[in-house]
Amino acid sequence: MAFPNLSEIVTTTLRNRTGELADNMSRNNAALLRLTRRGNLKTFSGGRTIVQELNYANNETFQWYSGYQTLNIAPSQVFSAAEYPIRQAAVAVSISGLEELQNSGEEAIIDLLESRIMNAEDTFMNGLSQGIYGDGTVSNSVGGLQLLVATSPGTGTVGGIDRLSWQFWRNQSWSAATNGGTILSASSILSQMDALWVQLVRGRDYPDLIIMDNVMYRYYLSALQAIQRIGADNGAPDMAEYGFQSLKYLNADCVLDGGFQGFSTDPLPPQLSSSSSAVGGAPSTTGYFLNTKYLHWRPHSRRNMVPLDPDRFSVNQDAMVRLVGWAGNMTLSNAFLQGVLTA
């Protein structure tokens, strides 16, 4: 049998790193970091779909009454549920027979493995971030913010619910050109953000996180500089701790997550891609106004960045491959309190 000791070393090293892999992923994406911090990274353990309960209607039993007046105790169907498909992702960690010979000894193999795992981790982070900001049209990918908080919220199906038929399931969308009658710039961005914000406030419910791409964040930064509104307390401490650039807008943290070169559906890394765009950032000239109370990251409890058994040995190759797998989806439980701002 090929690599009798290597298989055990690979398995042990990967298992020791899987918890760290999952943690690193949650710290690599602004939306996922906030969901983790507020406890909305929740695993599920089974079922054909991921069921997310919704709060979409008032309880109809409320009434004013006097004395012995009969009260309404009829059952009230307040909660329904959206059902999201389970999506899967994997990345391979491979070592050839030649590499095993060149790195003889357990310590040398572990060093080689560490570099391969770091590469797999980076690849996984880019791929999942691409999904988080995507629209779900890439085959078998998660439905990300471009789907859940869409620029055309009156069309499409999200979580099995038709947005054309159900108005409560539509997010808010504001275009500076179409709705605001202006060109988005440093001089106009504050008024356009205000116009979207007021549509997203319901009592004490309001967006807590605004994610912007490079262009929109630069407009907002310039607008604050022009009115001298940038101070030492202007950012979000939990975001700054993990390296995200952030500012404040009213009660929300405004975070730059544009990626190295923005968002692209191209699955290849930028150095190998025919496209000039990298993956994993917010789309160009886009700002997501998110009430993260109603956004959820739902990995499977047994498939959250874990090595998949058994080892794979190619029939005609002197090499061993170990897969690291993930399964789950991004879910939404309230749409009309989410918004997206575009040019």
Give tens-digit pLDDT for 44-63: 998 999 999 886 666 778 88
In a domain, 72, yes or no: no
The label of the residue with tokens 């008032």 reads 58
In a domain, 226, yes or no: yes
* CATH classification of the domain holding 277: 3.90.1690
Tokens of 74: 């009829």
In a domain, 284, yes or no: yes
Mean pLDDT by 10 residues, the chain (343 residues): 50 60 65 88 92 77 90 73 94 81 72 77 82 91 95 95 92 97 96 98 94 93 80 55 78 81 49 42 92 95 83 73 90 96 97
In a domain, 199, yes or no: yes
The whole-angstrom distance between residue 168's C-alpha and the CA centroid of its chain comes to 22
In a domain, 245, yes or no: yes
DSSP state of 41: B
In a domain, 65, yes or no: no
Burial class (CB in 10 A: 0-12, 13-18, 19+), 98: exposed
**Domain carrying residue 274:** 4-59+83-342
Give the count of beta carbons closer than 10 Å to the beta carbon of residue 251.
11
CA 270-271-272 angle, to 5 degrees, is: 90
In a domain, 323, yes or no: yes
Task: Enter the pTM of the model.
Answer: 0.82
Beta bridge pairs of residue 210:
254, 289
Tokens of 209: 């996180």
The label of the residue with tokens 């309001």 reads 206
Closest by CA to 87, choosing from 29, 147, 11, 39, is: 147
pLDDT value at residue 198 = 97
DSSP state of 209: E
pLDDT value at residue 148 = 97
In a domain, 73, yes or no: no
Give the C-alpha distances (Å, rounded to integers) separating 264 from 77, 210, 216. Answer: 41, 20, 17
pLDDT value at residue 197 = 98
The number of folded domains in the chain is 1
Beta strands in 56-191 (DSSP E): 79-85, 87-96, 157-158, 161-162, 172-175
